[in-house]
Amino acid sequence: MVDYAQIGERDVVLEIGPGRGMLTREILNSPCSFLHIIEIDKTLAPFLEPLLKRHETRTSLIWGDVLTVNLKELSPSPTKVLANIPYNITTPLIWQILEHLAPMGTKELILMLQLDLAERLCAKPGTKDRSPLGITIERMGQVQIAKKSASISILARSEGRVGHRPDTARQKLRPGVEATLEEAAESCLCKKAQDANE
């Protein structure tokens, strides 16, 4: 993911859900000027806190649910967001980032998503998978699937069950200056209706 992010020395990165810190280490080895981390699971403290202590002048760790954290209060404001996010919060989280962070200078989101969701966000006009979120992203900037991972059978816990992990995709979202979230949201419902009539 860090390779796709092309992190520079002026970048402030927000990492959501670092887990045991594998991606965090890669980000800290990049030239980023600052790293914000949001993690809900405090049992991961033994993995994250020692790592961040070595970089305390350029890191901030927030324990909490990213959907309830006030992202506008992050200082310095993130320029890039990297996250491997659960399917069930993907849509509300992307909306929140577009609403609160894009106006403050966030230019790029690099997300690990389930492939079917990534493809819906990239759906072309006139297709049944077109969604208001995909239309909004299209109006604000651009979206692309940077890499599709192979479908592999691994042990993956999902609501207490062990099963098959769906295909995933690394997706790059680049909010631009073509439209504000308000303008994009206002027009996306009209666009969705127009697409349905094509």
- Top mean pLDDT of 19-28, 108-117, 124-133, 153-162 is at 19-28
Rg (CA), the chain: 17
The DSSP code for 79 is: S
- Top mean pLDDT of 22-26, 84-88, 90-94, 127-131 is at 22-26
177-187 in b/e burial notation, b at 16+ Cβ within 10 A? Answer: eebbbeebbee
pTM of the model: 0.74
**Structural domain for 56, as ranges:** 2-197
Number of helices followed by number of strands (H, E) in the chain: 7, 9
Report the share of the chain in percent with pLDDT over 90: 38
* Mean pLDDT, all residues of the chain: 77
Tokens of 97: 């980032």
Residue 172 has pLDDT above 80, yes or no: no
Lowest mean pLDDT among 2-11, 42-51, 149-158, 167-176: 149-158
Q: How confident is the model at residue 42 (pLDDT cuts 50, 70, 90)?
A: very high
Instruction: Say whether 145 sits in a helix, a strand or coil.
Output: strand
Q: How confident is the model at residue 192 (pLDDT cuts 50, 70, 90)?
A: very low
**Which tens digits make up the pLDDT trace of 88-129?**
888 899 889 888 998 888 888 888 877 777 777 777 888 888
Stretch 15-41: mean pLDDT: 96
The total domain count for the chain is 1
CA–centroid distance for 122 within its chain: 15
CATH number of the domain where residue 16 is located = 3.40.50.150
User: 181-197 and 132-140 helices cross at what angle (nearest 10)?
Assistant: 120
Residue 142 has pLDDT above 80, yes or no: no
